[in-house]
Amino acid sequence: MPSFMAIVAPGLENISAKELKFYSKSLKTFGFEYNNINTIKGGVEFESSFEHGLLSNHFLKTPVRILYRWGQFQEVLRTNDIEKAFESLDWFELLKGFKPEFHVSSFKSKMFHLQKLKQACEMSYRRVKIKQNIEVVKNRTTQKVYVRLSKNKMTVSLDTTGELLYKRGQNKAVNEAPLRENIASSLLWWLSLQVNKSFNLLDPMCGSGTFLIESQNLYKTHTQRKFQYQLWSTDTRELKLPELDIKPLIQNAYGIEVNPNTFKTLSTNTKDFKNIELLQADCTQVSKTDLNLSDSLPLIVLTNPPYEKRLHLKQTLSQTLEAINSNFQPEALFYIYPIDQHRNKKPSLTFRSGGLNLGLFKYT
């Protein structure tokens, strides 16, 4: 069976594996199956039909890229071995008219010098191009080809995604310190699995609204953007997506933002979502009634307070959290914070984002 690899933020691999298992189950009636789902550092490997692997780009929200494992080769020790391996791949069939861009990595292998390894890939491709009589087209589109050597075993993978998956194609404007969409989705997936019943979400320091928007799009298919695989050939361009009809656990999403300029951006970003409610205010000074919050469902707070030097809170973090907790009385309050600035607390989850080691903490 063809094999794929979802690239994921380190620390969030198990969540992406659960997301994949969820779709494997939900889409079974459409003949989809994702098997042998296995986490490795920074990724989730899985097997599926070629088409269903490519289509996973449209509904997975937690990875940043989906790679198709095109070929695996043992005992790759020198340039000649790379050339032999490349010769066995059908570049003409799949990548007609593309310009490969090689990305290489090496781990415990004889060929460890990355620049030389990249040159070896480029030279091998040039030779194979002549042998396979691959036509050279002007203005070719770039295709990322990932060559990974591990203990002399070489994996050649193709990027199926193109622009990274956290680009949802929705023209969202951002303000300071926005959270990447794939991280926000991962935390929302984690939260949904923990809560395991319908709930309302509140982000009391919501910035440009990433948590709010992702909460409403968690099970929706990406239809507003194109993916790299759709450029490959007519066969892949015309793959049909099933209509997903999954009832979301997160019903309404409420957002509070104090900065007037950020609030303007937030209002524009969320204007098409009927289940998102906003309030421009200092979250420590308002309560449930100001937000018109219904009591019919449990309320869970998930937020990303300012933690960088240039952005700061008016009160201390613990005063702010205490005020949110007493003003809104949520069933649970979770917040993101850098681990090294919060050593006395044990995080529920740890992950890397924007070059920082972050934790998801529960307010108690």
Site track 158-197 with ligand SAM (rule: CB under 6 A), x = hit: -----------------x-xxx------------------
Q: What residues from 27 to 56 belong to the interface with ligand SAM (CB under 6 A)?
A: none
Residue closer to ligand SAM, measured from CB, 197 or 309:
309
**284 touches ligand SAM (CB under 6 A):** yes
One-letter amino acid at 291 equals L
Nearest distance in Å: CB 309, ligand SAM: 12
For residue 97, what are the contacts with CB-CB under 8 A and spacing of at least 6? 135, 137, 140, 141
Residue 3 as a binder of ligand SAM (CB under 6 A): the answer is no
Beta strands in 50-90 (DSSP E): 65-73
Q: Taking Cα atoms as reference points, which of 171, 167, 161 lies closest to residue 227? A: 161
257 binds ligand SAM (CB under 6 A): yes
What type of residue sits at position 56?
S
Q: Which of 33, 45, 282, 322 binds ligand SAM (CB under 6 A)?
A: 282
- Torsion angles phi and psi, residue 41, rounded to 5: -60, 120
Its sign, for the CA torsion 41, 47, 50, 51, is negative
71 binds ligand SAM (CB under 6 A): no
Which long-range contacts link 18-24 to residues 24+ away (Cβ below 8 Å)?
18/189, 18/193, 19/60, 19/61, 19/62, 19/189, 20/44, 20/46, 20/56, 20/60, 23/56, 23/59, 23/60
Given 7, 8, 111, 205, the residue binding ligand SAM (CB under 6 A): 205
For ligand SAM, give the closer residue by CB, 11 or 43. 11
232, 167 in Cβ contact below 8 A?
Answer: no
Q: Which is nearer to ligand SAM, 55 or 206 (CB)?
A: 206
Which range touches ligand SAM (CB under 6 A), out of 30-38, 62-70, 121-129, 256-264? 256-264
Task: Rule CB under 6 A: say whether 242 interacts with ligand SAM.
Answer: no
Q: Which two tokens stand for residue 360?
A: 């998801």
Contacts to ligand SAM from residues 258-277, by CB under 6 A:
258-259, 262
Contact positions vs ligand SAM (CB under 6 A): 175, 177-179, 204-208, 210, 256-259, 262, 282-284, 304-306, 313-314
